[in-house]
Amino acid sequence: MAKVMGEIIIDIERCKGCELCFDACPKEAIQLSDTINSKGYQFAIKVNDLCNGCASCALVCPDAVITVYRKVDKAKRPVKVIEIED
């Protein structure tokens, strides 16, 4: 099976540190920063390399601060923006 690699970019200035993405992440890849942004919020940061680009964090993020990338090695196929599952 092809290896799935993911990456997230967090707009830390917009992050309000609500922590909802932590529970959503199946890989426990997100935690709270030690420092604060200009609004005074501690913000979400990625803490490991296990991200597979499932976008769960982005889905629950109220402020839409997370951009998610996903790359499938070797078997490159277009990924639909948010697959809707029943």
Partner 1 sequence: MSERTYVDIEAELTDQPINFDEDICLAENVVYVKPQTLIDIPMHYCPGCGHSTAHKILMEVVDEMGIQEEIIGVAPVGCSVFAYHYMNVDMQEAAHGRACAVATGIKRIMPEKYVFTYQGDGDLAAIGTAETVHAANRGENILVVFINNGIYGMTSGQMAPTTLPGMVTTTSPYGRDVKTQGHPLYISNLLANLPGVAYVSRHSVHTPNNVRKAKKSLAKALEYQKQGLGFCLVEIVTNCPSNWKMTPKQSNQFVEEKMIPFYPLGDIKVPEGK
- Would you count residue 10 as binding partner 1 (CB under 8 A)? yes
Residue 68 CB burial class (10 angstroms; 0-12, 13-18, ≥19): buried
Contact (Cβ atoms closer than 8 angstroms) between residue 30 and residue 47 = yes
Q: Does 79 bind partner 1 (CB under 8 A)?
A: yes
Q: How far is the CB of 15 from partner 1 (least distance, A)?
A: 9
**Single-letter amino acid code for the residue at 65:** V
Applying CB under 8 A, which of residues 1, 20, 74, 75 lies at the interface with partner 1? 20
Residues of this chain that bind partner 1 (CB under 8 A): 5-7, 9-14, 16-20, 23-24, 33-35, 37, 39, 41, 45-49, 53-56, 58-71, 78-79, 81-82, 84-86
